């Protein structure tokens, strides 16, 4: 493995055997004596390299395979096939060694002890990770300054707000100085101010400390604000892997028109220069690509002339719009739309 490649997945695969239930009372009785099962491939020959210092968004719908991939990289699951290496360690074969190299934050779970003050939880983690006292004091002082932990240290974890607990969990995951962090929905349920604080901290440790971060989230604003690279997984396979800027440049030209009509769900198939993205009641979201066709002003004028438009607003497309389109139609469809 190249010196600057910190994480490598090669043809990583994970299969689960799932029992198939039978409907009704008779089916339940039959299942006691004979069972049917099927094999589900949650991760299907996934390959990628992540270099030291990258901030990567690993994105997928529920059931796409992203959490299964992360569980293999953190050593929780063993692959059915293929291989993964994290900082020179095979995580599922060397779980303890891997744990010393990584930090993990799950937005809906905490690694802190519920009834203990934050300071005691952090001290317990210091002992678990065998962090030397001098290094612990230095790391804690820096983390406390960045995350404003001072007022929280004597408070029981159960009395912390969600935003406060997330700050404490981030500190807990970084006390031992890991080179890699896995973040699963770290801003879920946070208010705008708390989200902004977490995002600024993550940017800081990535840029200033060189911590490699892999972020899984459904919040596309997190991805757009933080990640230099996006890997999109769909049905266990990689659907996209590239720089966030490249995703924007290839698929985010043009504008999104949010149009409210007086009519209920009118047919706009005759509208020039527009592609329908989504419909809700009498509202439509329309994609204007441009690409040398009709000017935006002319397209808008034609809309008002040919349809009963009640209101119209123009938006810049977001990464989330593109990701959703890739989920629904695939990369080939997006590329065809861009060049159509």
Q: What was the pLDDT predicted at 172?
A: 94
Residue 256 in contact with residue 314, Cβ under 8 Å?
yes
DSSP state of 156: B
Look up tokens 């997928």; give the residue. 60
Q: What was the pLDDT predicted at 336?
A: 41
Q: What are phi and psi of 193, to 5 degrees?
A: -70, -45
Q: What is the number of other CB atoms lying within 10 angstroms of the CB of residue 23?
A: 7
CATH of 5-248 among 3.30.420.480, 3.40.50.300, 3.30.1380.20, 3.30.565.10: 3.40.50.300
- The pTM (predicted TM-score) of the whole model is 0.77
Q: Could you give the C-alpha distances from 42 to 4, 57, 85, 111, 317, in angstroms and in order?
A: 29, 19, 19, 27, 31
Domain definitions of the chain by residue range: 5-248, 253-317
Assigned token pair, 180: 């890699």
Q: What are phi and psi of 57, to 5 degrees?
A: -90, 125
Q: What was the pLDDT predicted at 332?
A: 53
| Termini Cα distance of the chain | 41
pLDDT along the chain (340 residues), means of 10: 84 88 69 75 94 94 88 94 95 94 86 93 94 93 90 94 90 93 86 86 92 90 90 90 82 80 81 83 84 79 89 81 68 45
Q: What was the pLDDT predicted at 338?
A: 43
């Amino acid at each position: 493995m190249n010196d600057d490649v910190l994480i490598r997945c090669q043809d990583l695969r994970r299969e689960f055997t799932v029992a198939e239930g039978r409907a009704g009372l008779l089916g339940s009785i039959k299942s006691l004596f004979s069972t049917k099962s099927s094999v589900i491939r949650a991760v299907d020959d996934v390959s990628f390299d992540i270099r030291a210092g990258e901030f990567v968004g690993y994105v997928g719908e529920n059931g796409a395979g992203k959490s299964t991939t992360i569980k293999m990289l953190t050593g929780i699951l063993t692959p059915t096939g293929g291989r993964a290496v994290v900082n020179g360690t095979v995580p599922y074969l060397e779980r303890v060694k891997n744990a010393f190299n990584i930090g993990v934050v799950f937005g809906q779970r905490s690694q802190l002890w519920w009834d203990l003050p934050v300071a005691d939880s952090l001290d317990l983690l210091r002992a678990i990770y065998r962090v030397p006292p001098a290094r612990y004091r230095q790391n804690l002082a820096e983390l406390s300054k960045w995350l404003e932990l001072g007022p929280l240290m004597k408070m029981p974890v159960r009395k912390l707000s969600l935003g406060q607990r997330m700050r404490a969990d981030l500190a807990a995951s970084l006390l031992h100085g890991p080179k890699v962090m896995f973040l699963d929905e770290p801003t879920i349920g946070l208010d705008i101010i708390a989200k902004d604080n977490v995002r600024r901290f993550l940017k800081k440790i990535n840029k200033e400390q060189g911590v490699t971060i892999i972020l899984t989230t459904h919040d596309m604003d997190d991805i757009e604000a933080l990640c230099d690279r996006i890997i999109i997984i769909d049905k266990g396979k990689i659907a996209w892997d590239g720089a966030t800027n490249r995703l924007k440049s290839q698929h985010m030209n043009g504008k999104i028109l949010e149009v409210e009509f007086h009519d209920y769900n009118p047919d706009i198939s005759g509208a020039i220069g527009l592609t329908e993205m989504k419909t809700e009641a009498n509202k439509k979201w329309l994609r204007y690509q441009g690409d040398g066709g009709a000017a935006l002003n002319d397209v808008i004028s034609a809309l008002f002339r040919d349809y009963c438009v009640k209101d119209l607003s123009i938006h810049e497309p977001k990464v989330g719009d593109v990701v959703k389109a890739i989920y629904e139609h695939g990369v080939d469809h997006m590329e065809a739309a861009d060049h159509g």
